[in-house]
Amino acid sequence: QMRMICELAVMECYYHNVAKFTEEDAAGFWLWKRDKHFWIEYSGTVKLGIDASRVSMKQEGDTVTITLPPARVLTCEPDQESINSDSYIIDHKSANINSADTVKAIEEAQLKLRQKVENDQTLLNEAQLRVKTLLEDYVNNIGRAIGKEYTIQWEYLKDESLYESGVSSIAMENEIA
């Protein structure tokens, strides 16, 4: 199954994170129950950009109107090579941990990190500005190549719920079984 991906990544941020895991009464029975407590230190990247399928350009005479969707988090991924045996700090009183605990801890930390970046308006505005500069340079370069000077007007899509409905319809239209 293939889908068309129309993302324009304009910013990549590196981060260092610590995932904390706690599970009460994870091992033992009755009075000898033990909890699981550990931390995982790791690094990764967050990519910011836009859904390029929602960009539209309209030319009327010497004016080009460009409509942009809001910048958003495209990916938030841990660097698997940064996770090794030295990355774990396990409480000496902890019950034994397993790979499912590790996966759960990292997934929860990634979700919190994604939410933090999604709420960082300064970072999202910087990504939006980079997209705008990139498209402005594109239009100006085309104009120079054909000997025209364009005035660029900007329109911004603000409703993120439009993005959600747009993704499903785009995915449906572009899926190949």
On whether residue 172 sits in a domain, the answer given is no
Q: Note whether residue 24 is domain-resident.
A: yes
Question: For residue 109, what pLDDT is reported?
Answer: 85
- The whole-number pLDDT of residue 160 equals 53
Is 127 inside a domain boundary? yes
Q: Give the structural domain span for 162.
A: 7-166
Tokens of 85: 């045996």
Burial 42-81 (b: 16+ CB within 10 A, else e): bebebbbbbbebbbeeeeeeeebebebbbbbbbebebeee
Lowest-pLDDT range, 22-36, 56-70, 126-140, 149-163? Answer: 22-36
Grouping H, G, I as helix, E, B as strand and the rest as coil, residue 68 is strand
In a domain, 65, yes or no: yes
Q: Count the domains in the chain.
A: 1
Report if residue 67 sits inside a domain: yes
Give the SS3 label for residue 108.
Answer: helix
> Cα separation of 122 and 11, whole Å?
13
Summarised one tens digit per residue, pLDDT across range 82-125 is: 888 888 888 888 788 888 888 888 888 888 889 989 999 999 99
Q: What angle do CA 102, 106, 171 make, to 5 degrees?
A: 125
Least-confidence region, from 2-6, 7-11, 140-144, 154-158: 2-6
Using alpha carbons, select from 142, 152, 172 the residue that is nearest to residue 68. 152
Asked whether residue 19 is assigned to any structural domain, the reply reads yes
pTM: 0.73
175 part of a folded domain:
no
124 located within any domain: yes
Q: What are phi and psi of 47, to 5 degrees?
A: -110, 135
